[in-house]
Amino acid sequence: MKSIISAAMAALLLLSASAAGAAEFTPAPNAGYVIDLDTPDNSMSLWQLDEMSGISALRARVTFVRVGKKTAYGPATMLILSNGQSEASLTFLLTPKGSVAMLSAKRGETELGRELFLMPIDPKETFGLEIDWTPEGKVTVRIATKAVKDMGGDGFERHEVTMDGAPTQIKILGGGSETEFKPLTLGAAN
């Protein structure tokens, strides 16, 4: 019982921590996208950006519009930041009752870190996504959902992983679902 209370207190501290680490965001010119990955069951979709000069952050409004049936490819959505040596991935495992998010980093097959977001995302909820990274490869992800906002604080659940250097590519994969990024804006974290 004591360990359950300790875990609950740690979760509350994590969720209610301020976004002091959240940097000011300056959008890059012509770097706003509306992405709708509408992927049939047992299929995958890919959106990819290979030119990221001067980019160190992204901001998005995300909605899981449709959750398909469980197959080899989902339902899931994954956002991957990579640089040829390592990658950080934000994976959303989708269910009709709510979705969960996990942030991880790896170099080849070697895991560099893994963080699980504690608060679920309600079905069809539009939520805020903020990702910042440093030249050294520290990747910070903040997700603002209704469940987190209801707990108080600044409304963001925040996790970090470190990859080997800054990302040079972004991929978004969708499997057996429809996920909208309306909009996804790239820019600089100041």
pTM score: 0.86
Q: What is the pLDDT of residue 166?
A: 95
Domain ranges of the chain: 2-189
**Residue corresponding to tokens 């994590």:** 14
Q: Mean pLDDT across the chain, nearest whole number?
A: 88
Q: Band of the pLDDT at 190, cuts 50, 70, 90?
A: confident
Q: Which pLDDT tens digit goes with each residue over 36-56?
A: 999 999 999 999 999 898 999
Query: What CATH class does 2-189 carry?
Result: mainly beta
The tens digit of pLDDT for each residue in 103-153 reads: 999 999 999 999 999 988 999 999 999 999 999 999 999 999 988 888 887
